[in-house]
């Protein structure tokens, strides 16, 4: 574990000269040492509250971690590292059993825990744990017990979280098990280390130096994931390079799998459907061709011979130019099943993506995934999960939930969220996604009547599926702070926490994260948590209020581009989605238009069908309304739209000021990083506001509502801006 960036003599010399020569330079520009963000939420700095620290010290004078497995060793290391940090002193190495105050283990590796005959363990599965005060041989101790070493590791991290967030451990009694089986990060990382839609540096996988060079970062990545219950990682981009399946790269993937195994993390790979042709020398990749099937079976055998616990494949097929079974006249089910058969005997799964749309289909884009996949329900092998993006288009700042959730009862549907902020400001906009994730997970599909939430669909409880899962497109890169922005570390964090337990609230997770990452100071916690809770709605307001969507600039998706038109495909343009005209704005997906609402169950379908009953945040997603349409605030649509854009931008200024009020209460280096990013976010929020309002005004021909300043700049100026080297572009 690397702790801080160290004082370097050269920095000192440069600083000294700078200071003497330039009297006007402010101290605040330089930080010799400070929290650079590398340690994420696992900082374990010494507790400042002395009473609490002493209290913990008394209860943790001696710790026993049972077991000899690599995972037990990880638990031992983490506990000793964390307690040394938090409590400010090393634990004694050995004490007699009678003196232990914390015992971690399983009935298999600990006779002390076996003796307790903990009945609750029966319901906790392979990953659950319990933490509680318990009499052991006549003495009350804290016990962290699980059925497996991995469960004990998760329990340990939970226990440490209690200390990090300064909760009482006097009467601790916790029983916890994950609600979903597969809790997976999807890295859109290419083998040349470019990260598609990545805004935090390069890929953390140094493929060139693997398998021999094993970076410290790989271990810290595993620790961070284990601490929030993430148990799988797809190493490479869904737009997959077929080379990933060659022996050269499999050996590298195996090295990572070896590092991750003690942390309970399985490795998965994205595969290109045409691999049999591209690297196997076959003439076809037709899933019904026996030679193709044999090729995949041999490939699976080869993978499992070096990665015995390999998780399986993630597949993007017949989507955005990727090859797939459709190229051979076969269905998605036939393609997925062929791969599933190759993996089944080894225990692997296929995560088959439902993100498909094709120009030739002549069907409105938002409807296509449903039309293509719903008829296949019941045709997939039982080790296939269909991975569905949260909304029917593409990770927009706000989308209604995808109508596929609830529509395929016989198929385990896996959620795909995007943690990286491709459409919400890259890595310079502070947008906490906890509220977005919760909004989707809590949406009621009504598939089996009221109470059929999306969360219940994907955790498998609504339809009793045999397996369940959730994926998040990672926002991780080589930036020292991992995610390009301190606040955006919280999105990795909240994804893991909700994957474990979707009933937690976005606020309590934000609160936890702030305490562990920034400070336990009451003012910091309250202020930053509030800021985070509001942040996504603010971004929706300055980017895509009232149900607008897909109006960003083309290709790189950076900044506003409502004017984008005339691309290779209509459904890549902005004008296709907002349909602004002199008479009004919005996409008529109601029964009088393309009727996308028919894909939802009643009463959602009926609610969405009319502008009068639809929740206003989806108004322009489903309806084309006139500029004079009366919104619920009493304002006309035009006035409301402009107000929202203005409100969003003004709220970023307010957020920046709020952050500034915390100076001195947060580590200066962390503070400054966020402060600088907020400065960029503010500029860009006004850019979005001005560009969009001016553009839509060219249709509405209406004045800026009284009381609001005129937008700065001209539409022409905004339209001329070009960013050929914006980061994260697809290749
Ligand atoms: C889009 C991204 C593109 C991805 C695609 C996908 O712009 O880079 O390849 O999603 O999910 O949003 O496959």
Q: What is the pLDDT of residues 80-94, one digit of tens each?
A: 999 999 999 776 655
- CA of 649 from ligand 1 middle (Å) equals 27
- Top mutation candidate among 190, 270, 273, 320 for ligand 1, by most atoms within 8 Å of CB: 320
**Mean pLDDT score across all residues of the chain:** 94
User: Does the active-site annotation cover 394?
Assistant: yes
Angle at 50 between CA 45 and CA 52, to 5 degrees: 85
Does pLDDT of 95 surpass 90?
Answer: no
Tokens of 576: 């296709």
Name the strands in the sheet holding 102-105, side by side, starting at the edge strand that comes first in the sequence.
63-65, 102-105, 139-146, 129-136, 173-176
Asked if 445 and 400 touch (Cβ cutoff 8 Å), the reply is no
- Residue 197 CA: which ligand 1 atom is closest? 8
Q: Per-residue pLDDT for 8 more than 80? A: no
Task: Tell me the per-residue pLDDT of 337-387, one tens digit each, with 9 for 90 and over.
Answer: 999 999 999 999 999 999 998 867 789 999 999 999 999 999 999 999 999
Q: What is the distance between the alpha carbons of residues 307 and 245, in angstroms, rounded to a whole number?
A: 13
**Statement: the pTM of the whole predicted model exceeds 0.85:** yes
239 lines ligand 1 (CB under 6 A): yes
Residue 270's H or E segment, with its range, is strand 266-271
Whether a cis peptide bond, with omega within 30° of 0, leads into 211 is: yes
Tokens representing 321 are 């130019």
**The two domains 47-176 and 182-517 share their CATH topology (first three levels equal):** no
541-587+624-720 fold: Alpha-d-glucuronidase, C-terminal Domain (3.90.1330)
**105 and 65 Cβ atoms separated by less than 8 Å:** yes
399 pocket-lining for ligand 1 (C-beta < 6 Å):
no
Q: Which two tokens stand for residue 544?
A: 């895509």
Is 617 catalytic? The answer is no
Mean pLDDT of 669-690: 98
The number of the ligand 1 atom at minimal distance from the alpha carbon of 389 is 11
Instruction: Let me know if 302 is a catalytic residue.
Output: no
CB 52 within 8 A of CB 497: no
**CA separation for the pair 648, 625 (Å, rounded):** 22
From the CA of 264, how far away is ligand 1's center (Å)? Answer: 28
Residue 275 dihedral angles phi and psi, to the nearest 5°: -55, -40
Question: In the structure, what pLDDT confidence band is assigned to residue 97 with cuts at 50, 70 and 90?
Answer: low
pLDDT at 494: 99
Going by CA atoms, what residue is nearest to atom 8 of ligand 1?
730
Q: 342: which DSSP letter?
A: H
Active-site option among 35, 399, 422, 684 = 422
Does pLDDT of 20 surpass 60?
Answer: no
d(CA 596, ligand 1 centre) in Å: 22
Are 524 and 516 in contact by the 8 Å Cβ rule? The answer is no
Provide the pLDDT for residue 32: 54
> Ligand 1 center to residue 473 CA distance, Å?
10
Residue spans of the domains in the chain: they are 1-33, 47-176, 182-517, 541-587+624-720
- Cβ neighbours of residue 165 under 8 Å, at least 6 residues apart? 511, 512, 515, 516, 520
Tokens of 174: 């916790």
- Place 40 in a pLDDT band, splitting at 50, 70 and 90: very high
Coil/strand/helix, residue 450:
coil
pLDDT classification of 18: cutoffs 50, 70, 90: very low
Closest CA to 196 of 232, 163, 238, 161: 238
Check if the beta carbon of residue 476 is closer than 8 Å to that of residue 204.
yes
Answer whether residue 429 shows pLDDT above 70: yes
| Catalytic, out of 394, 399, 439, 479 | 394
Average pLDDT over residues 170-193: 98
Q: Is the CB of 537 under 6 A from ligand 1?
A: no
Catalytic residue among 45, 258, 309, 320: 320
Confidence band, pLDDT 50/70/90 cuts, at residue 96:
low
The count of other CB atoms within 10 Å of the CB of residue 202 is: 16
In short, whether 196's Cβ falls inside 6 Å of ligand 1 is yes
- Superfamily assignment of 47-176 in CATH? Chitobiase/beta-hexosaminidase domain 2-like (3.30.379.10)
pLDDT tens for each residue of 466-476: 999 999 999 99
What is the rounded average pLDDT of the residues 683-705? 98
User: Quick one: what percent of the chain has pLDDT higher than 90?
Assistant: 92
| Mean pLDDT (whole number) for 20-38 | 59
What are residue 703's phi and psi, to 5 degrees?
Answer: -75, 160
Q: Which of 370, 427, 375 is nearest to 401 (CA)?
A: 370
Predicted confidence at residue 723, as pLDDT, reads 98
Q: Which CATH architecture has domain 182-517?
A: Alpha-Beta Barrel (3.20)
Q: What is the DSSP string of 28-76?
A: GG--SS---STTTT---PPPS-HHHHHHHHHHTS-EEE---SHHHHHHH
pLDDT at 9 > cutoff 50: no
């Amino acid at each position: 574990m690397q702790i801080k960036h160290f004082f370097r003599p050269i920095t000192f010399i440069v600083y000294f000269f700078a200071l003497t020569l330039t009297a006007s330079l402010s101290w605040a520009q330089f930080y010799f040492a400070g929290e650079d963000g590398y340690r994420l939420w696992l900082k374990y700095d010494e507790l400042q509250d002395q009473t609490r620290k002493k209290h913990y010290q008394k209860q943790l004078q001696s710790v026993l971690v049972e077991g000899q497995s690599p995972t037990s060793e990880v638990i031992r290391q983490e506990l000793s590292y964390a307690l040394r940090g938090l409590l400010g002193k090393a634990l004694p190495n050995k004490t007699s059993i009678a003196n232990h105050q914390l015992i971690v283990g399983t009935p298999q590796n600990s006779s002390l825990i076996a003796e307790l005959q903990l009945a609750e363990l029966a319901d906790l599965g392979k990953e659950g744990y319990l933490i509680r005060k318990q009499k052991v041989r006549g003495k009350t101790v804290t016990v962290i017990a699980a059925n497996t070493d991995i469960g004990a590791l998760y329990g340990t991290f939970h226990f440490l979280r209690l200390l990090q967030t300064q909760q009482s451990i006097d009467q601790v009694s916790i029983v916890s098990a994950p609600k979903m089986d597969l809790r997976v990060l999807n890295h859109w990382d290419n083998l040349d280390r470019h990260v598609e839609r990545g805004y935090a540096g390069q890929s953390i996988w140094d493929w060139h130096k693997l398998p021999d060079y094993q970076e410290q970062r790989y271990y810290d990545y595993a620790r961070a994931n284990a601490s929030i219950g993430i148990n799988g990682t797809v190493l490479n981009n869904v737009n997959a390079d077929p080379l990933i399946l060659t022996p050269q790269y499999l050996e590298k993937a195996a090295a990572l799998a070896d590092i991750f195994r003690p942390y309970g993390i399985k490795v998965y790979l994205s595969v290109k459907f045409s691999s049999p042709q591209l690297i196997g020398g076959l003439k076809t990749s037709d899933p019904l061709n026996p030679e193709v099937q044999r090729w995949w079976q041999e490939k699976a055998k080869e993978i499992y011979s070096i990665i015995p616990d390999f998780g399986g494949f993630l597949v993007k097929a017949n989507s955005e130019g990727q090859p797939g079974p459709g190229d051979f006249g076969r269905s998605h089910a036939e393609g997925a099943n062929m791969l599933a058969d190759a993996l089944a005997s080894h225990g692997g799964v296929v995560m088959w993506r439902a993100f498909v749309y094709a120009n030739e289909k002549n069907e409105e884009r938002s409807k296509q995934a449903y039309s293509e996949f719903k008829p296949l329900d019941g045709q997939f092998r039982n080790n296939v999960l269909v991975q569905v993006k949260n909304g029917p288009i593409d990770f927009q700042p706000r989308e209604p939930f995808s109508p596929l959730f609830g529509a395929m009862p016989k198929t385990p549907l896996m959620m795909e969220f995007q943690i990286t902020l491709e459409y919400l400001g890259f890595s310079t906009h502070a947008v906490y996604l906890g509220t977005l994730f919760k909004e989707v997970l809590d949406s009621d599909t009504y598939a089996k009547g009221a109470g059929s939430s999306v969360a219940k669909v994907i955790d498998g409880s609504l339809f009793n599926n045999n397996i369940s899962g959730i994926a998040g497109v990672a926002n991780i890169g080589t930036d020292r702070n991992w995610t390009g922005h301190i606040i955006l570390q919280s999105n990795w964090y909240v994804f893991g926490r909700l994957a474990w337990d979707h009933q937690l609230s976005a606020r309590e997770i934000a609160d936890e994260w702030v305490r562990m990452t920034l400070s336990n100071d009451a003012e910091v916690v309250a202020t930053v948590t509030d800021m985070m809770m509001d942040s996504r709605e603010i971004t929706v307001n300055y980017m895509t209020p009232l149900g607008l969507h897909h109006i960003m600039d083309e290709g790189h998706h950076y900044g506003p581009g409502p004017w984008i038109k005339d691309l290779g495909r209509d459904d890549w343009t902005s004008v296709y989605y907002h349909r602004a005209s002199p008479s009004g704005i919005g996409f008529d997906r109601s029964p009088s238009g393309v009727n996308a609402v028919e894909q939802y169950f009643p009463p959602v379908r009926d609610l969405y069908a009319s502008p009068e009953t639809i929740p206003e945040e989806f108004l322009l997603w489903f309806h084309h309304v006139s500029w004079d349409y009366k919104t619920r605030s009493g304002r006309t649509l035009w006035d409301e739209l402009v107000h929202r854009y203005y409100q969003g931008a003004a709220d970023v200024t307010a957020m920046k000021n709020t952050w500034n009020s915390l100076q001195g209460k947060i580590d200066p280096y962390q503070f400054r990083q966020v402060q600088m990013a907020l400065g960029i976010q503010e500029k860009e929020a006004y850019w979005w506001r001005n560009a969009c309002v001016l553009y839509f005004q060219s249709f509405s021909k209406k004045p800026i509502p009284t009381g609001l300043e005129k937008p700065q700049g001209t539409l022409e100026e905004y339209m001329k801006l070009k960013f050929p080297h914006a980061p994260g572009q697809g290749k």
